[in-house]
Amino acid sequence: MNSPQDPYAQSADTTTGKVFTVTGQDWDSIVQGVAEEAEERIVVNMGPQHPSTHGVLRLILELEGETVTEARCGIGYLHTGIEKNMEFRTWVQGVTFCTRMDYLSPFYNEATYTLGVERLLDIEDDIPEKATVMRVLLMELNRISSHLVAIATGGMEIGALTVMTIGFRERELVLDLFELITGLRMNHAFIRPGGVAQDMPPGALDEIRDFIALMKKRLPEYADLCNANPIFKARLVDVGQLDLAGCLALGISGPPLRSTGYPWDLRKTQPYCGYEDYDFEVVTWDTPDAYGRFRIRLAEMWESLKIVEQCADRLADLEGAPVMIADKKIAWPSQLALGSDGMGNSLDHIRHIMGESMEALIHHFKLVTEGFRVPAGQAYVPVESPRGELGAHVVSDGGTRPFRAHFRDPSFTNLQATSVMSEGGMVADVIVAIASIDPVMGGVDR
Amino acid sequence: MSPKEPQEFDEVTEGTEDDATAIMPENTLPADPEQLEPEVIDVRKGMFGVHGSGDTSGYGGIVRPVAMPGGSPRPYGGWFDDVADALGGALSSAGITSGVEKVVVHRGEITFFIRRADLLETVRTLRNDPALRFEFCSGVSGVHYPSDEGRELHAVYHLLSMTHNRRIRLEVTCPDSDPHIPSVVAVYPTSDWHERETYDFFGIIFDGHPSLTRIQMPDDWPGHPQRKDYPLGGIPVEYKGATIPPPDQRRSYN
């Protein structure tokens, strides 16, 4: 209650009542202090640094006893000005920035931005098939890893630590695949205007097949552990209700929308990246609560596995096919290769531009420093990210940099449902409701 | 570099305005020719857009207009005409005749430029009319065109009709001197945070918003960071004796 060592969070009397600063100390003093005040209505400021708020999210809860009468979110603690920064880099460099927004689904950030740029360039039909298949493969692997974190952190926040440990165990396997394919576990900047950065490394398809086989054994463990678990169900069932009308009014998409039974999935309804050619189902549920959203995420991982399997089969037939557009005015000029000092431009390429062709050197220099121009206009190509509709509003003035890139992040929009999902419920259910939205603060604040 | 002052628009070598005119069928007479002109938002000088230092490329005299795609003549193609007809009909029966300033069809996406006074009625029609039924708003995005005089600030709305599986874009403009746009929160509650964000970053005041406060930046933050006249910030970084300026002060190629 009294923490004079903390100059920024002192106990004080304000016009609205006594202020208590709660950190990790003995709670007896708090309980006693509140009892002395003899007031039922308490405003709790939870976060932004709190293990249960799903990131750097600040919750302002007004409580009557243990019932939440009002819930508000404070966001912006992770705002990094990514959209502003993108206006000062080339179109290709923009990928490096936007991949860092929603850090649990980086490939979706890259994909929606890249698809928008490709639409403005009018090269949507020229993207090599292998690049598109690789994009789908990475996005679906990413959906699995993102849903695993959603389930894992959601479990952790209600005290189900085993769900957390097994969730992160499997996510690690997906990140290993990302590392093998792109070189990085996160922040890949791999999907770029015109294609993807690199071809599949040797042995990657075998690793993916091993992963699919393993996941088919591991995913039932989640179902066994959680689906009928009475404690798990007691915490999740009927918590965070939001029906279809509420979802549409608040612009909620993704698992919360599908948990109302409405099968809206952009991969089916407005296909991009050739999703119409893959065999998968849109998962829905009949109870629009936290439990329904959990079951949807669990079932969607099975569907993603199906798509990954189909991608692996297609990639096996596309050995050696190009992964970058043929247009040399857009395609990144160099192929990367592993040298004695790490990853860099391939020796063949260096030999070509330094020893053989002056034109190639000029091209490389122009594309890397100046970049390509994108015709003026604006585009919006949304994708179905693990959290819902993720779209980039990309505006070009005909220059070599984005004039404006705005991301419609599903976490940002879905977090608006916090109030309606938790008001009138118990304070402990607020945590469950927010975990069922699965907001990623990097995407919320950008 | 020639010492004489370059002529305005006399060396249009590599126009960006082709897109708008290329799709115009030759025999169709435009309804309002002015609306079909590409919207010039800026003038680009020199080959690389270099400011403050010499352009040694020999192309320093080039002056090119920066133009966004202009309006499109009928027919727009596909379901675009159905939406335009239904919207026009519903609006005129509500007594609004000139709500739609112009329609731009570009890269397979349709954009309706809406007069800001009629925005609220337009979105209400778009949501409620059974033939339109745009029940899902993907949010608001601001764009700042500092050289587009009288129309500096744009608010861009992406609407989705799940019933008909269609997606359209609305664009509303307002001048810097009077940055007011009616709020659509009453029709699309999801716009609450999106409008707060656009206010935060661009200074557009959404009239009728329940609590228009900053959302990402601190409450006492001065200025609106996404505006083009707001600097990116950053400090020069010294590395091995050389000094690299911050990104917004480096040589640019726009």
The DSSP secondary structure of A34-74, one letter per residue, reads HHHHT-SEEEEEE-SS-TTSSSS-EEEEEEETTEEEEEEEE
Residues 6+ apart with CB under 8 A from B133: B127, B161, B163, B164
A213 SS3 class: helix
Least reliable range by pLDDT among A124-133, A237-246, A404-413, B12-21: B12-21
- Chain B residues 172-211 within an 8 A CB cutoff of chain A: 188-194, 197
Q: Any CB–CB contact under 8 A between B72 and chain A? A: no
Encode pLDDT of A204-253 as tens digits: 999 999 999 999 999 998 888 888 888 888 988 989 889 999 999 999 99
Residues 6+ apart with CB under 8 A from A58: A45, A46, A47, A48, A73, A74, A75, A77
Mean pLDDT value across residues B234-252: 86
Q: Any CB–CB contact under 8 A between A409 and chain B? A: no
- The ipTM value here is 0.85
A345 SS3 class: strand
- Chain A residues 332-371 within an 8 A CB cutoff of chain B: 369-371
Q: Any CB–CB contact under 8 A between B55 and chain A? A: no
Q: Which helix (H) or strand (E) holds B144?
A: strand B136-144
Encode pLDDT of A134-189 as tens digits: 999 999 999 999 999 999 988 888 888 888 899 999 999 999 999 999 888 888 98
Identify the CA nearest to B120 among candidates B168, B165, B157. Answer: B157
Contact residues on chain B for A119, CB-CB shorter than 8 A:
107-109
- Chain B residues 81-140 within an 8 A CB cutoff of chain A: 106-109, 111, 135-139
Residues 6+ apart with CB under 8 A from B108: A119
Contact residues on chain B for A88, CB-CB shorter than 8 A:
232, 247-248, 252
| Cβ <8 Å between B247 and A89 | yes
Residue B126, pLDDT above cutoff 60: yes
Q: Any CB–CB contact under 8 A between A393 and chain B? A: yes
| Cβ <8 Å between A401 and B19 | no
The whole-number pLDDT of residue A383 equals 94
Q: Any CB–CB contact under 8 A between A404 and chain B? A: yes
Which of B144, B217, B253 lies at the smallest CB-CB distance from A370? B253
Residues in chain A: 446
Q: Any CB–CB contact under 8 A between B254 and chain A? A: yes
Contact residues on chain A for B216, CB-CB shorter than 8 A:
75-76, 79, 445-446
Encode pLDDT of B129-166 as tens digits: 888 899 999 989 999 998 888 889 999 999 999 999 99
Looking up tokens 């879905």 gives A414
| Cβ <8 Å between A370 and B48 | yes
The whole-number pLDDT of residue B7 equals 42
Q: Which of A25-29, A303-307, B149-153 has the highest mean pLDDT?
A: A303-307
CB B197 within 8 A of CB B156: no
CB B179 within 8 A of CB B205: yes
CB B165 within 8 A of CB B208: no
Residue A306, pLDDT above cutoff 90: yes
How close, in Å, is residue B58 to chain A by CA atoms? 16
Encode pLDDT of A250-288 as tens digits: 999 999 999 999 999 999 999 999 999 999 999 999 999
Mean pLDDT value across residues A87-115: 92
R_g of chain B, CA atoms, integer Å: 21
For an interface test with A, give the residue of B63, B105, B193, B196 to mutate (most A CBs within 10 A): B193
pTM, 2 dp: 0.87
Encode pLDDT of B111-124 as tens digits: 999 988 889 989 99
Residue B90, pLDDT above cutoff 90: no
The whole-number pLDDT of residue A121 equals 92
| Cβ <8 Å between B156 and A400 | no
Q: Any CB–CB contact under 8 A between B49 and chain A? A: yes
A279 SS3 class: coil
Mean pLDDT value across residues A36-59: 76
Encode pLDDT of A394-444 as tens digits: 999 888 889 999 999 999 999 999 999 998 888 888 989 998 998 998 889
Mean pLDDT value across residues A72-98: 91
Residues 6+ apart with CB under 8 A from A317: none
Least reliable range by pLDDT among A255-264, A411-420, B39-48, B210-219: B39-48
Higher pLDDT, A355 or A34: A355
The whole-number pLDDT of residue B48 equals 61
Least reliable range by pLDDT among A180-194, A308-322, A347-361, B29-43: B29-43
CA distance A420 to A417: 5
Which chain B residue shows the shortest CA-CA distance from A89?
B247
How close, in Å, is residue A376 to chain B by CA atoms? 5
The whole-number pLDDT of residue A25 equals 67
| Cβ <8 Å between B16 and A408 | no
Q: Any CB–CB contact under 8 A between B65 and chain A? A: no
CA distance A356 to B30: 53
- Residue B148's alpha-carbon distances to B48, B102, B176, in angstroms, are 21, 16, 10
Which chain A residue shows the shortest CA-CA distance from B226?
A84
How close, in Å, is residue A38 to chain B by CA atoms? 32
pLDDT band at B4, cuts 50/70/90?
very low
The whole-number pLDDT of residue A86 equals 92
How close, in Å, is residue A227 to chain B by CA atoms? 31
- Chain A residues 208-267 within an 8 A CB cutoff of chain B: 248-253, 264
Identify the CA nearest to A252 among candidates A441, A415, A391. Answer: A415
Residue B254, pLDDT above cutoff 70: no
Average pLDDT, chain A: 87
CA distance A254 to A264: 8
How close, in Å, is residue B85 to chain A by CA atoms? 23
Beta strand segments in B12-88, E: 39-45, 63-68
CB B135 within 8 A of CB B163: yes
A358: burial class by Cβ within 10 Å (0-12, 13-18, 19+)?
Answer: exposed
CA distance A257 to B71: 36
Which chain B residue shows the shortest CA-CA distance from A401?
B254
Which of B69, B216, B232 lies at the smallest CB-CB distance from A88? B232
